[in-house]
Amino acid sequence: MRAFALMADQYEGAPPPRPVGQSPPGSPHPRGAPRAPARACRRSAAPNRPPAPVGAPTPPRRASRAGSRLPALRVVALLALVAASAPAQAEVRDRWEVTLVPPPNYDMESADINNPLGTVTVRGWDRNEVRIVAEKWAQSAALVKHLKVLAGFCTDGSVCVKTYVLVSEGQKAVPVAAGRIDLVMDLPRRLPLKARTFVGDLEAVGMRAGAHLESKSGAIRVRDVHGQVTSRTLRGSQTVAAVRGSVELDGVAGDLDLMQVSGERLVARTVDGSIRVHKVRAQMVRLSTTAGEIWLLDLQTSQGGRYELSTFDGGIRLRPIMPTSFDLVARNLRGRLVSKHPLTVKSRSPRVVRASVGQPPAGASFALTAYGDISVE
């Protein structure tokens, strides 16, 4: 990574680097020293022995040396399994804190955070500096020293922060079962934010230039953010509140909750989970899930707005702010259409109803597809 003004917590007790071509101290064969000629492999025939009497115990086999030549990767995997199955021990904690002040004539333009070892919490503030607090947790003091945070100002104008595990082969940006790093950061709120975690939760509060958040298996929370927000996670819930800007949420397993969102577009997709949206104003809304309920409550429609809701294993609740007028196309795969407002039915078939609500001309249009009931409140 091209960067300058990089700062990292120090690793105490690390051995000095060894020049290339030099053997470690105490090696029985120093590099360059003459060695004894290799002995020829000799295999003598086994002497003739009398057969063992019936019922005699079988002599123990000679242990194989194959286990001593396991690759380093397999050894690490075995150690990880042992650590995971071992009884819980007292955790060792360490706190690391730093404040980064940009060099003269340096303009911070964005923030890029990558923490595969734990959680990330980002808070926007009005100072032109970055404050980082890292809480390290491990089962031993030796492992705590190997948990590292690297932070600095990159040449592209971004604030770069990443975590890793320091091992003999170098840096490993992978989760470990026996240790973690949780980050709490205060950033200038004017910076666009990009943050990633692996198994830890991710939270962004008070930013004013949008946020792009990703997690493999962690909950994502966004609050009081202006600008476009995109959020993706494979397994975990996503919660968005008090956002001014377009929002796009994408998930595989987990519920999606949105409240007080005002923007041009709102898109929320998940495979296994429910979608609940409250107090929203947008020109286009698209909500879809394969297995779960969909709620769109207290919606303030826009003239010419388009709203699409679909679920293949659940029902739909729709409650727009009245008075308003809109066209409605409801498709029930297995269920019924219930409306608390008078419907002007234009066409009806066993599974599709086309109708309108309110006085024409319609100001918005709804397309609703559900396996269960559809309720218009």
Residue 166 amino acid letter: L
Residue 182 amino acid letter: D
pTM, two decimals, is: 0.75
Share of the chain residues as helix, strand and coil, in percent rounded to the nearest 5: 5, 50, 40
Output the pLDDT for position 171: 62
Q: What average pLDDT does range 249-258 have in this prediction?
A: 98
Q: Token pair of 39, please?
A: 């002995």
Q: What is the mean pLDDT of the chain?
A: 82
Q: Which of 41-55, 178-192, 231-245 shows the lowest per-residue confidence on average (mean pLDDT)? A: 41-55
Output the pLDDT for position 136: 95
Q: Which of 38-42, 281-285, 367-371 shows the lowest per-residue confidence on average (mean pLDDT)? A: 38-42
In the chain, where are the structural domains located?
Answer: 89-196, 251-377
Identify the residue whose tokens are 């066409």.
Answer: 347
d(CA 70, CA 308): 56
pLDDT band at 350 (very low <50, low <70, confident <90, very high): confident
pLDDT tens column, 76-96: 343 343 344 344 456 899 999
Pick the more confident residue, 318 or 88. Answer: 318
Q: Which of 77-81, 129-133, 202-206, 309-313 shows the lowest per-residue confidence on average (mean pLDDT)? A: 77-81
Cβ-in-10-Å burial (0-12, 13-18, 19+) of 38 comes to: exposed
pLDDT above 70 (res 38): no
d(CA 180, CA 354): 55
Return the percentage of the chain with pLDDT > 70, whole number. Answer: 74
Q: Token pair of 56, please?
A: 């005699």
- What is the gyration radius of the CA atoms in the chain, in angstroms? 31
Output the pLDDT for position 30: 52
pLDDT band at 39 (very low <50, low <70, confident <90, very high): very low
Output the pLDDT for position 91: 83
pLDDT band at 300 (very low <50, low <70, confident <90, very high): very high
Residues sharing a CB contact under 8 Å with residue 235, sequence separation 6 or more, in sequence order:
216, 217, 252, 253, 254
Pick the more confident residue, 53 or 69. Answer: 53
Q: Please name which of 333, 307, 305, 313 lies closest in space to residue 270, comparing C-alpha atoms.
A: 313
pLDDT above 90 (res 115): yes
Pick the more confident residue, 349 or 51. Answer: 349
d(CA 61, CA 66): 14
pLDDT band at 238 (very low <50, low <70, confident <90, very high): very high
Residues sharing a CB contact under 8 Å with residue 186, sequence separation 6 or more, in sequence order:
123, 124, 125, 127, 130, 131
Classify 292 in phi/psi space as left (phi over 0), alpha (psi -120 to 50) or beta: left
Output the pLDDT for position 306: 96
Q: Token pair of 209, please?
A: 């230039």
Q: Please name which of 211, 187, 208, 194 lies closest in space to residue 131, comparing C-alpha atoms.
A: 187
Output the pLDDT for position 169: 62
d(CA 77, CA 69): 15
Q: What average pLDDT does range 244-260 have in this prediction?
A: 98
Output the pLDDT for position 275: 98
- H or E element that contains 288: strand 275-291
Q: Please name which of 143, 146, 118 lies closest in space to residue 133, comparing C-alpha atoms.
A: 118
CA angle 100, 105, 108 (to 5 degrees): 50
d(CA 56, CA 309): 78
Output the pLDDT for position 97: 95
